[in-house]
Amino acid sequence: MKTLSYLDYFILSLLKDLPIKATSLFYILKGKRTASMLYKALETQLTPVFGLFPSLEKQQYDQAVQQYLLKNYVAYASSEKEDLILTQEGKEAVEAYFKTHYKPTALEHLKKGKLLMNFQKKSLFLIQVFSELRYHNRTYIPIERDYFLQLWVKQWLQKQNIERQELALAFGEEWGQLLDQLAMDSAQQIVLTMTGHTQVGQTRNQLAYQSKKESMEIELQILDSYYVFLLNIDKRPATFPLLYSIIQEEQSLYPYGLGKSVQLTKNYLEKGYALDEIASRRNLKNSTVSEHIIELAIICEQEQFLNNIPTSIYEKLNKILEKEKDLSFAQVKESFSELPFLWYRLVQIERLKKHV
Amino acid sequence: MYREEQLKKLLQVKFGYPEFREGQQEAIEAALNGDHTLVMLPTGTGKSICYQLSGYCLEGKVLVISPLLSLMQDQVEQMKQKGEKRVVALNSLLSNEEKKYLLDHLSIYKFIYLSPEMLQQEKVMRALKKQNIALFVVDEAHCISQWGMDFRLDYLHLGWARKQLGSPLTMALTATATKRVRKEILSSLDLEKEPFQEIVYSVDRPNIVLDVIHCDQNKDEQVLEKVAFLEPPGIIYFSSKAAADEMAEKINQQTSFYAESYHSDIDSADKIKIQQQFIRDDIDIICATSAFGMGINKNNIRYVLHYHLPASPEDYLQEIGRAGRDGKKSIAVLFYESGDYAIQKYFQDESLPTRKMIDWAYRKQNMQLLDANEIQKRMAAYFVDQHIDQQTAYQTVMERKRIKEEQLSYMIQYSETKDCKRAFLLHYFGERAMETTENCCSSCSIDWTDFEKTMKTKEKKAKEVTKNWQKSFNALFLFSYF
């Protein structure tokens, strides 16, 4: 039997808490952004890893699941052979594995994945720019070829009202403080990925080779460290004013990393438009706008969406679901013939969020 | 009209070179004289200076059509590094908003690099028509030709696009084109009827010694033996990504050198890192597919090895041309084994749609469901979209197949010939070799001591990585306290 990889153990660790269909888990990891998959992620508490592996291949994943079954690390939760759960043997294997391997703890990929990627790109590029500036070197090959990112750096630098050398020092100091809060090993990995006057950043494979780890472990270790950075910057904005400003700007431009169309629906909702008005103005089907609202309710704060549900229905729905939380829409509809799916889903989302 | 001294001064100021290389001044003077030009200069001799310097002398914009995204990005960055800020690339990597922004601001740029498919977009053409185009440049112009090595469907529209833009002064550049390819470039761009100059220099690079090693089920051992012997830096080309990965691994385990693989599966940020590490000599050897090297600005590459047989003499010359750009002796070694033909033939077949695929495409007019790879789908879609009749489509594919077979067959003959390898390659381009010199090729003679690794290299130890992050971090920012 094939030895399991870091990715295998990581996937197994996700099955620890709640049963889930193998296909659903696959699409959550790939980041299939449909309302039903987002709901599934919320339901199974897997929003932190939503879209974490966009290039995961179905065939490779299916083979891996077969391996987990063969090793008796996972089993079907019922005779219908749909939902998978981690077996006791699987739990022990996962626990033993992560005693000697890095286990991410701060991931928040659905809500902050896009923000994190952009923050990482921008700050790594600024590190190069400032490092070269510290050495008074103006001719170097930038690590970022994206014209608009280069333009952003130029504009960002112009906005800062500090002398450039001082700014470089301040930026470096903020980074130094962030790194100081990480474990030695994680800080080392992050610094080695940086490119500046004195070094070219290492690739994931190079880091893996040197530390005798799998490159996936390195990748998740680095990603997780960046999530820790986001948390720390958010907690102490006064300590990290430059990095905080980058995050703030990113958040205002792309709140919650929403897609363009969902973002537009959000704008209309904020202006007070109703679902069908939005659909007709945007030439979309009502069901599409419904999906957008579900996505928004899962990712953002959702009070505003619940406000459209008449109080009596809202309360009745809650009562029914309180008694039996897993009632399907069809079952609930037996008591509410005119109940729109959107309302049912929004109440479910609210209940799940409260529960989590 | 610019005088010779003025051009030299500009060359020094803008590019930092005191003298022109062979062919450059001639090409620039022809353009400044108002003549369209077809410039063929050997690989690594600074073709881009021909249009960049001409551009500086002309009033108006320089439009550069470039076939490869990575090459385009490298060229844009290299111009920026030399201080030119008014340079931009318009290609498929841009989002719609970004493209719109650039098209609205085209007037601020002097050098506009474009991928050929951009010229087929109405918005792009509309924006370009508003500009004063001083020079229309077609880089890697052999892509226009059916007989060229990298025939690109998008390049077929260049003649049309050029006309739409008012037939501006044009410069087409290539390093590897036969007479037939050059003729097709001229007719496609409609340059034949206008005053034009062909500035053609030999494709030969005399400082690159040509070697062919015949293998018999022992290619890995042979390659590793050579790698252990030769002075790096070097590039090893492969037709498969997996083979490139495996060899990099073997080099790292079995020799004192440090290798990295480079191909389309490598993440784009890592690709930049690998390129930069190679440029700084942190990496000794790159094991790559053809994706590597076109825009690489590294003069001291001492060898280029080919693990698999290249598809054509043009490909081979392009790839080995990355060696010895500093003019010093370098070597190109082709490792040949009898089964190599089949591998390359497989790739060739995979790059063209079959008759069945074409039939399907014409019947269903829907490429999404066509059982074919992306390249095959693209070509089939092109025929359908352009309303080319089905018979002509078959013929085009068959002709292309024949050409590819001829080119591959020439490479087999090159590998097997006992005559001078250089003369044989040059013959393909309609050239005659100069008198055989020492250190010419494996059929003539090779002095291997020229390429043996030096004592300094032998003593080179694996790069130590500090375990102390503070030390590396402090060095980046010139800190003393973290």
Minimal C-alpha gap between B477 and chain A (Å): 5
Are A123 and A227 in the same domain? yes
Convert B437-466 to b/e letters by CB count within 10 Å (16 or more is b).
eebbbbbbebeeeebebeeeeeeeeeeeee
Asked if residue A73 and residue A159 are part of one domain, the reply reads: no
* Element holding B90 (H helix, E strand): strand B87-90
- Whole-angstrom distance, CA of residue A110 vs CA of residue B58: 52
Residue A205 to residue B479, Cβ atoms within 8 A: no
Query: A131 and A86 in one domain?
Result: no
B408 vs B342: CA distance, rounded Å: 10
Residue finishing a domain among A57, A83, A100: A100
CA distance A64 to A74: 11
Dihedral sign of CA atoms A49, A203, A233, A138 in order: negative
Q: Touching check for B276 and chain A: CB below 8 Å?
A: yes
Q: Give yes or no for residue B321 having a pLDDT over 70.
A: yes
User: CA nearest B467 in A: which residue?
Assistant: A188
**Does B81 contact A at CB distance below 8 Å?**
yes
Query: What is the span of the domain harbouring residue A69?
Result: 6-100
Q: Confirm or reject contact between B251 and chain A (CB < 8 A).
A: no
Query: In this predicted structure, which of A87-91, B323-327, B358-362, B435-439 has the lowest mean pLDDT?
Result: B435-439
Residue B4 has a CB neighbour count (10 Å cut-off) of 10
Chain mean pLDDT for chain A: 91
Which of A142, A195, A197 is closest, CB to CB, to B77? A142
CB-CB: which of B73, B267, B469 is closest to A191? Answer: B469
Rg (CA), chain B: 23
- Residues B31/B191, Cβ–Cβ less than 8 Å: no
CA nearest A182 in B: which residue?
B469
- Judging contacts by C-beta atoms under 8 Å, the chain A residues touching residue B276 are 141, 143, 195, 200
CA contacts within 13 A on the Cβ side of B374: 0
pLDDT cut 90: percent of chain B above it:
59
**B230 DSSP 8-state letter:** B
ipTM: 0.88
Q: What are the DSSP calls for B331-367, one per residue?
A: EEEEEE-TTHHHHHHHHHHHTS--HHHHHHHHHH--S
Q: Is residue A326 predicted with pLDDT exceeding 90?
A: no
What number of other Cβ atoms are within 10 A of residue B31's Cβ? 27
CA B360 and chain centroid, separation: 34
pLDDT value of position A1: 66
Average pLDDT across chain B, whole number? 89
Q: Residue A1: inside a domain, yes or no?
A: no
Distance CA A174, CA A237 (A): 11
Give the whole-angstrom CA distance, residue A79 versus residue A88: 18
Q: Within an 8 Å CB–CB cutoff, is residue B108 touching chain A?
A: no
**Chain B (359-398) residues lying within 8 Å, Cβ to Cβ, of chain A:** none
Residues of B in contact with A179 (CB under 8 A): 469, 473, 482
Looking at residue A101, its pLDDT comes to 97
Q: Is B178 helix (H, G, I), strand (E, B) or coil?
A: coil
Structural domains of chain A, count? 3
User: How many angstroms away from the CA of A187 is the closest CA of chain B?
Assistant: 6
Instruction: List, in order, residues 6 or more apart from B75 with CB less than 8 Å away.
Output: B48, B64, B66, B113, B295
Chain B, 17-76: which have a CB under 8 Å from a chain A CB?
73, 76
Residues 6+ apart with CB under 8 A from B120: B154, B157, B161
CA A141, A144, A149 angle in degrees (round to 5)?
A: 130
**Closest approach of B469 to chain A, Cα-based (Å):** 5
* A182, A54: one domain: no
Distance of CA B134 to CAs B58, B170, B171, Å? 6, 9, 11
Q: How far apart are CA B315 and CA B321, in angstroms?
A: 10
Residues A122 and A188 in one domain: yes
Residue B190 has pLDDT above 80, yes or no: yes
Average of pLDDT values for B457-474? 69
Q: Among A134, A139, A147, whose Cβ lies nearest the Cβ of B477?
A: A134
Contacts of B279 in chain A (CB under 8 A): 141
Mean pLDDT of B312-323: 93
Shared-domain flag, residues A232 and A133:
yes
For residue A296, pLDDT over 50 is answered with: yes
- CB atoms under 10 Å from CB of A105, counted, come to 9
Q: Which of A75, A100, A125 is the last residue of a domain?
A: A100
| CB contact B249 to A (< 8 Å) | no
> Do A118 and A217 share a domain, yes or no?
yes
The set of long-range contacts for B262-269, using a CB threshold of 8 Å and a minimum separation of 24, is B262/B286, B262/B287, B262/B288, B262/B289, B262/B291, B262/B292, B263/B288, B263/B289, B263/B291, B263/B292, B264/B289, B264/B291, B265/B241, B266/A203, B267/A203, B267/A204, B269/A143
**Orientation angle between helical segments A341-355 and A35-43, nearest 10 degrees:** 30
Q: Judge if A138 and A189 occupy the same domain.
A: yes
Token duo for residue B456:
């300094």
Residues A191 and A193: their CA atoms lie apart, in Å, by: 5
Which of A216-230, A254-268, B158-172, B228-242 is predicted with the least confidence, judged by mean pLDDT?
A: A254-268
Contact B77 A184 (CB under 8 A): no
Tell me, what CATH number does A337's domain have? 1.10.10.1390
Which of A253, A275, A304 lies at the terminal end of a domain, its last residue? A253
Residue of A181, A191, A193, A210 for testing the chain B interface, max B β-carbons within 10 Å: A191
Please give, rounded to a whole number of angstroms, the shortest distance from the CA of B147 to a CA of chain A.
Answer: 33
CB pairs under 8 A between A and B: 95
Distant-in-sequence, close-in-space partners of A247: CB < 8 Å, separation ≥ 6: A115, A119, A230, A233, A234
8 Å CB contact of B88 and A139 = no
What's the rounded mean pLDDT across residues B291-295? 75
Cβ-defined contact of A143 to B269 (cutoff 8 Å): yes
Got the DSSP string for B434-458? -S--SS-BSSS---GGGGBPPHHHH
User: Does A179 sit within 8 Å of B270, measured CB to CB?
Assistant: no
What b/e sequence results for A46-60 when a residue is b if at least 16 CB atoms lie within 10 Å of its CB, and e otherwise? bbbbbbbbeebeeee
The pLDDT assigned to B147 comes to: 58
Query: How many angstroms separate the CA atoms of A352 and A260, rounded?
Result: 26
Round to whole Å and give the CA distance between B448 and B257.
Answer: 19
Question: How far is the alpha carbon of B414 from chain A, nearest alpha carbon, in Å?
Answer: 37
| Residue A278 placed within a domain | yes
Q: Distance between CA B23 and CA B40 in Å, rounded?
A: 9
B138 φ, ψ (degrees, to nearest 5): -115, 105
Q: Check pLDDT > 60 for residue B464.
A: no
Token pair, residue B287, equals: 């094991």
The answer, yes or no, to whether residue B236 has pLDDT greater than 70, is: yes
How far is B274 from B253, CA to CA, in rounded Å?
19
Interface test with B, best of A133, A205, A223, A260 (most B CBs within 10 A): A205
The set of long-range contacts for B319-322, using a CB threshold of 8 Å and a minimum separation of 24, is B319/B235, B319/B237, B319/B290, B319/B293, B320/B205, B320/B208, B320/B210, B321/B42, B321/B43, B321/B44, B321/B175, B321/B205, B321/B208, B322/B43, B322/B44, B322/B235, B322/B293, B322/B296, B322/B298
What is residue B303's three-state secondary structure? strand
Q: Looking at the complex, does the CB of residue B343 fall below 8 Å from at least one CB of chain A? A: no
B439 in Cβ contact with B445 (< 8 Å): yes
pLDDT at residue B45, rounded to an integer: 83
CB B199 within 8 A of CB B21: no
Verify that A208 and A180 share a domain, yes or no: yes
Of residues B73, B89, B276, nearest to A200 (C-beta): B276
| Helix residue ranges, H only, B167-211 | 179-188
3-state secondary structure of B328: coil
Q: For B363-392, how does the pLDDT look when each residue is reduced to its tens digit (9 = 90+)?
A: 888 777 778 888 888 888 888 888 888 999
Contact at CB, A139 and B81, closer than 8 angstroms: yes
Whether B204 and B431 have beta carbons less than 8 Å apart is answered as yes
Q: Which pLDDT does position B461 carry in this prediction?
A: 46
User: Residue by residue, what is the 3-state secondary structure of A125-147?
Assistant: HHHHHHHHHHCCCCCCCCCCCCH
Q: Answer yes or no: is A36 within a domain.
A: yes
Q: Do B252 and A202 touch (CB under 8 A)?
A: no
User: Which tokens in the block code for residue A173?
Assistant: 């100091």
B77: nearest CB among A127, A141, A169: A141
Closest listed residue to residue B422, CA positions, set B449, B458, B446:
B446
The confidence score (pLDDT) of residue A247 equals: 96
Q: pLDDT value at position B216?
A: 93
Cβ neighbour number for residue A310 with a 10 Å cutoff: 9
A252: Cβ contacts below 8 Å, ≥ 6 apart: none
Q: Does the beta-carbon distance from A206 to B276 stay under 8 Å?
A: no
Interface touch B482/A176, C-beta < 8 Å: yes
Pairing of strands A83-86, A74-76: antiparallel
Same-domain status, A247 and A309? no
**C-beta of residue A104 within 8 angstroms of C-beta of residue A221:** yes
Tens digit of pLDDT for each residue in B392-449? 989 988 988 898 899 999 999 999 999 999 999 999 999 988 766 678 999 998 999 9
- Do the strands B170-174 and B36-40 form a parallel or antiparallel pair, or are they unpaired? parallel
Residues of A with CB under 8 A from a CB of B: 127, 130-131, 134-135, 139-143, 145-148, 168-169, 172-173, 175-176, 179-180, 184, 187-188, 190-192, 194-206, 209-210
| CB of B142 closer than 8 Å to CB of B177 | yes
Nearest to A141 by CA among B262, B478, B43, B273: B273
CATH at residue A32? 1.10.10.10
Question: How crowded is the C-beta side of B85, counted as CA atoms within 13 Å?
Answer: 6
B252 touches chain A (CB under 8 A): yes
**Are A151 and A84 members of one domain?**
no
Domains annotated on chain B, with CATH: 4-200 (3.40.50.300), 208-337+417-458 (3.40.50.300), 343-410 (no CATH)
In angstroms, the CA B414 to CA B312 distance is 10
Domain shared by A164 and A235, yes or no: yes
Cα dist. B187→A39, A78, A114 in Å? 60, 71, 49
